[in-house]
Amino acid sequence: MTHAMPHHADHTRGIHIHPSILSADFARLAEELARIGSADAVHVDVMDNHFVPNLTLGLPVVQAIRSATDLPLDIHLMIEDADRWAPEYAEAGAESVTFHAEASGAPIRLARELRARGAQAGMALKPATAVEPYLDMLTELDLLLLMTVEPGFGGQPFLEVVLPKIRRAREALDGSGTPVALQVDGGITADTILRAAEAGADVFVAGSAVYGADDPDAAIDGLRRAALG
């Protein structure tokens, strides 16, 4: 069964494009948000200079973004001690809050806290973190993020080595019947998105491919079409 999958997998199950504002102009965030009206959500990368070697923004800026857009907020926390800080992002009105499994001491408790605060619960795995230890807790999640670059910076090349993990996660999700979004983040471009879609991803984060373009909304449309093959 596995050999027949790649060419026949249904990669039209849903194509959701979440531009990452990491590649936007941070001095003009409201205007940058207005340039992605066709996005399904805006992806906000929170980095603490500990979990990753880069520092971006935190809760006050997320609150300001909340006031500046009606797009759903997809918060990606690349921070240590997620158990302590993640719930505040749910309270700030984010539609989804994604913490890293590597940074959570109690991921099931944390996922439940996020849901209790009205957000979708997301959990992220770095490229070299196996998904298998987490398969039994998929019912606790609304979103599983498989990083396709080492987290920390925009503009890095897509890591093909993650594709088999995306396929295994898709098989597990389909087998469990649990409606969990399968998100990929890092190196997603018009050239790589189809491979991620065929492997089973249905939510695509793109930073430089959207904000590096002259017309971000046109770039979003180009990604959608490329994902359909």
User: Which residues of the chain form contacts with ligand DX5 (CB under 6 A)?
Assistant: 20, 22-23, 43, 45, 76, 149, 151-156, 185-188, 205-209
40 belongs to the catalytic site:
no
Compute the distance between CA of residue 168 and CA of residue 180 in angstroms, rounded to an integer: 14
- Crossing angle of helices 82-91 and 59-68, rounded to 10°: 20
Range 71-75 contact pairs with CB under 8 angstroms and sequence separation of 24 or more: 71/33, 71/36, 71/37, 71/39, 71/41, 71/42, 72/40, 72/41, 72/42, 72/96, 73/41, 73/42, 73/44, 74/18, 74/41, 74/42, 74/43, 74/44, 74/98, 74/122, 74/205, 75/44, 75/46
Residue whose tokens read 């205007």: 31
Active-site choice (40, 45, 48, 142): 45
Q: Which is nearer to ligand DX5, 129 or 156 (CB)?
A: 156
Cβ of residue 157: shortest distance to ligand DX5, in angstroms?
A: 8
User: Which part of the chain contacts Zn ion (CB under 5 A), choosing from 74-82, 99-107, 176-184, 195-203?
Assistant: 74-82
Any contact of residue 185 with Zn ion (CB under 5 A)? yes
Among candidates 114, 207, 203, which has minimal Cα distance to 155? 207
Q: Which does 32 bind (CB under 5 to 8 A by kind): Zn ion, ligand DX5, none?
A: none
Q: Which is nearer to ligand DX5, 4 or 47 (CB)?
A: 47
Among candidates 108, 95, 99, 120, which has minimal Cα distance to 51? 99
Cβ of residue 191: shortest distance to ligand DX5, in angstroms?
A: 12
Cβ of residue 88: shortest distance to ligand DX5, in angstroms?
A: 19
Any contact of residue 198 with Zn ion (CB under 5 A)? no
Q: Which residue is nearest to ligand DX5 (CB)?
A: 207
Return phi, psi of residue 103, to 5°. -115, 10
Q: Which does 152 bind (CB under 5 to 8 A by kind): ligand DX5, Zn ion, none?
A: ligand DX5
Cβ of residue 72: shortest distance to ligand DX5, in angstroms?
A: 16
CB 185 within 8 A of CB 202: no
Any contact of residue 74 with Zn ion (CB under 5 A)? no
142 belongs to the catalytic site:
no
Residues that bind Zn ion in the complex, under the rule CB under 5 A: 45, 76, 185
Residues noted as catalytic: 45, 185
